[in-house]
Every structure is written in C-alpha cells, then in structure tokens.
C-alpha cells in the first residue's frame, strides 16, 4: 500500500504518505526500488521476503497529480483468504492535489485504490482485497500529519469495515547537503465495524525510524519498524507485525 512521495525513497521502502515533492523538470517521473521486506503500516506484505517495486507519476503545475505503483506481495494467499489462485501483485493507482498554502505549510488530498492482481477466488466470509481510501494531509517544514479513510464495505479482506482509518504522523529531517535524512513515524490503524479476528483486536499502533542516504539519485535506506499487534495478525505461525529491520535501494528518474 503505497503512493506518492513521502520522500520517494522512504515511501518506496516503507509505504507511508505524502510530503510535498520538489518541482520536477518533467511532469512525468518514474521510480524503481528493491526492499528486503515490503512493510505497510508495520505489517509485512511479503512474509518477510524481498520485493521489487516501481511506478510512474504525473504532476501538473497546478498541484494535480496522478500515478501508479506496483509491488510483488503474498499476504493475501498466506492469510488464508483465497480458496484458489494467488493475488501476487499489488497495483496502486492514485489521484490527488497538493500545494503550499502558506510559507512552510502544505496540503495533500486525494484517493488511492489498492488493486491485487492475479487469477484467484476468495473464500466465503472474506472480501476481495481491493481497497479504496481517501486521504487528507497537512505538512509543516519537516512534519506531516495524514488521515486515511476506507470507503468500501470491506477494508482489504475483512468485510463490514467501512470507515476503517489510519492516522500517520511523520517527521523527516535532512542533514544539510550531506544527502542523509532521518525520519520517525507513528501510526494508528483503527478498525470500524468488524474490530476483532479470532477474538483478537485488529486495531494497532505502529512505529518506524528510517535513515536514508542519497548517492546521486540512488537512495539507500535502513529502516526499523515495529507494532503492538496481537495474535490477530499472526498467520502460518508468523507474527506479521513483529519488529523488523529493512534495507532498501530506490531510484527516481
């Protein structure tokens, strides 16, 4: 689950949300990345395995942007939500508007659709994982606050969860012209409607610290993530929200 630009690298590596991007010389940009584990909101999407990721974005001088981004995943099959087949690819499509509204202040509003591609059938009592969220964010210097709201009846594969939401607070500090930046994140995933699984609460908090180094447009990242999730997020004997260290390499062009 990811989309436009929490600093291209930090987002490609950890999937959170958007800081106002610097103007580009071309309205169309591309990105590609590799992560040792694809983690969204503290939860692994690849069972702690690597992922290859990439996307394309269009940005208009008015602040309008749209784009698409993809990554391999295996969480849908591993969760037991499908009876046959494998939704192996996540394709995110998004549309939004972002701009400055005062010195050092920015906003970002839009829609993102998480699509899971592949030939598969969902089990009874599970939704197809495709999910639509609206979001609104505000940024001040190094700080961003973003709120995402699930607009469909089900959030991912869990039915009866319209209104499920995510609050994301991120601070990213660049160290001058060194190419280094350090970011810290806190998030709160709150389930509405269906709030438990197997008697365990689905809602949880997640935290992340990321150190990034830009080498002439190639960004190397070292990211630590953790959550306070319960056994509701344990599948196949694996705790998907456990503490983890991720290494990433991304490039935008």
CATH architecture for segment(s) 8-252: Beta Barrel (2.40)
Residue 131 sits at φ, ψ, to 5 deg, of -140, 140
How far lies 24's CA from each of 20, 144, 153, in Å? 12, 21, 37
Beta-strand runs (E) in the chain: 28-35, 39-40, 43-44, 51-59, 64-72, 82-85, 89-102, 105-117, 120-122, 131-140, 143-150, 165-174, 180-190, 196-197, 200-201, 204-215, 218-227, 234-235, 238-239, 244-252
Q: Which residue has the higher pLDDT, 237 or 211?
A: 211
Confidence bin at 230 (pLDDT 50/70/90): confident
The residue that leads in pLDDT, 1 or 72, is 72
Long-range contacts made by residues 238-246, C-beta under 8 angstroms, separation at least 24?
Answer: 238/47, 238/48, 240/43, 240/44, 240/47, 240/75, 241/42, 241/43, 241/44, 241/204, 241/206, 244/37, 244/39, 244/44, 244/48, 246/13, 246/14, 246/35, 246/36, 246/37, 246/39, 246/221, 246/222
pLDDT at 12 over 50: no
Strand-strand pairing, 105-117 and 64-72 = unpaired
Lowest-confidence segment of 83-87, 107-111, 232-236, 249-253 by average pLDDT: 232-236
Q: pLDDT tens digits, residue range 132-157?
A: 999 999 999 999 999 999 999 999 99
Average pLDDT over every residue of 74-86:
93
Find the Cα–Cα–Cα–Cα dihedral 120, 86, 10, 27, rounded to 10°: -50
Q: Residue 217's beta-bridge partner residues?
A: none
Look at the block and give the residue holding tokens 């701009």. Answer: 99
In the prediction, which pLDDT does 7 show?
Answer: 32
Residue 231's pLDDT band, with cuts at 50, 70 and 90, is confident
> Band of the pLDDT at 2, cuts 50, 70, 90?
low
pTM, rounded to two decimals: 0.89
Q: Would you place residue 1 in the very low, low, confident or very high pLDDT band (cuts 50, 70, 90)? A: low
């Amino acid at each position: 689950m990811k989309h436009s630009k929490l600093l291209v690298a930090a987002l490609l590596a950890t999937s959170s949300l958007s800081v106002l991007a610097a103007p580009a010389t071309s309205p169309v940009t591309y990105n590609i990345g590799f992560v040792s584990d694809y983690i969204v909101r503290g939860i692994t999407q690849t069972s702690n395995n690597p992922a290859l990721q990439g996307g394309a974005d269009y940005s208009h001088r008015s602040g309008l942007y749209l784009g698409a981004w993809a990554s391999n995943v295996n969480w849908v099959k591993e969760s037991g939500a499908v009876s046959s087949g494998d939704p192996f690819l996540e394709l995110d499509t998004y549309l939004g508007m972002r701009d400055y509204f005062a010195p050092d202040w920015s906003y970002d509003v839009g829609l993102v659709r998480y699509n899971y591609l592949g030939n598969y059938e969902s089990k009874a009592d599970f939704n197809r994982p495709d999910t639509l969220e609206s979001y609104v964010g505000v940024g001040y210097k190094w700080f961003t606050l973003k709120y995402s709201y699930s607009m469909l009846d089900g959030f991912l594969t869990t039915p009866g969860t319209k209104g499920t939401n995510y609050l994301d607070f991120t601070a990213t500090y660049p160290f001058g012209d060194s190419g280094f930046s350090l970011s810290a994140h806190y998030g709160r995933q709150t389930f509405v409607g269906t709030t438990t699984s197997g008697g365990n609460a689905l809602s949880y908090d997640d935290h992340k610290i990321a150190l990034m180094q830009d080498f002439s447009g190639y960004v190397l990242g070292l990211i630590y993530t953790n959550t306070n999730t319960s056994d509701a997020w344990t599948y196949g004997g694996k705790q998907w929200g456990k503490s983890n260290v991720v290494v990433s390499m991304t490039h935008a062009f």
